[in-house]
């Protein structure tokens, strides 16, 4: 699996508090090991975000991503709370 990061994701990741950056990095490592790990709650999105997927980092914090070729390539697009992402 190759993971790429959109500039928006990188900017928002850097602005997270250190504890959430650590939890995000741990969630990404878990994702690399198994994208369908139940703790990540990997799911398809609908509506204006149709075609994209999301995983849960911790609590209300989500990562939105695009997957290509059955997880050969993954592009992390954005990170934020449920309200920030879908509101």
In this structure, what are the phi and psi dihedrals at residue 50, rounded to the nearest 5 degrees? -55, 140
Question: What pLDDT is stored for residue 85 in this prediction?
Answer: 80
Domain around 32: 2-86
pLDDT > 90 in the chain, percent: 91
Among 72, 81, 57, residue whose Cα is nearest residue 4: 72
In this structure, what are the phi and psi dihedrals at residue 37, rounded to the nearest 5 degrees? -55, 130
pLDDT at 79 over 80: yes
Whole-prediction pTM: 0.92
Instruction: Tally the domains of the chain.
Output: 1
pLDDT at 70 over 80: yes
Given strand 43-44, what is the order of strands in its sheet?
A: 2-5, 73-81, 61-68, 53-58, 43-44
Q: What is the mean pLDDT of the chain?
A: 95
pLDDT band at residue 82 using 50, 70 and 90 as cut-offs: confident
pLDDT at 73 over 80: yes
pLDDT at 32 over 90: yes
CATH number of domain containing 43: 3.30.2310.20
What CA–CA distance (Å, rounded) separates 52 from 54?
7
């Amino acid at each position: 699996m190759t993971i790429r990061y959109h500039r928006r994701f990188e900017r928002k990741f850097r602005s997270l508090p250190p504890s959430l950056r650590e939890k995000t990095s741990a969630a990404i490592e878990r994702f690399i090991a198994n994208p369908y790990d139940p703790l990540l709650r990997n799911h398809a999105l609908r509506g204006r975000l149709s075609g994209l997927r999301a995983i849960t980092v911790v609590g209300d914090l989500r990562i939105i991503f695009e997957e290509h070729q059955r997880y050969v390539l993954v592009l992390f697009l954005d990170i934020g709370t449920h309200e920030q992402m879908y509101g």
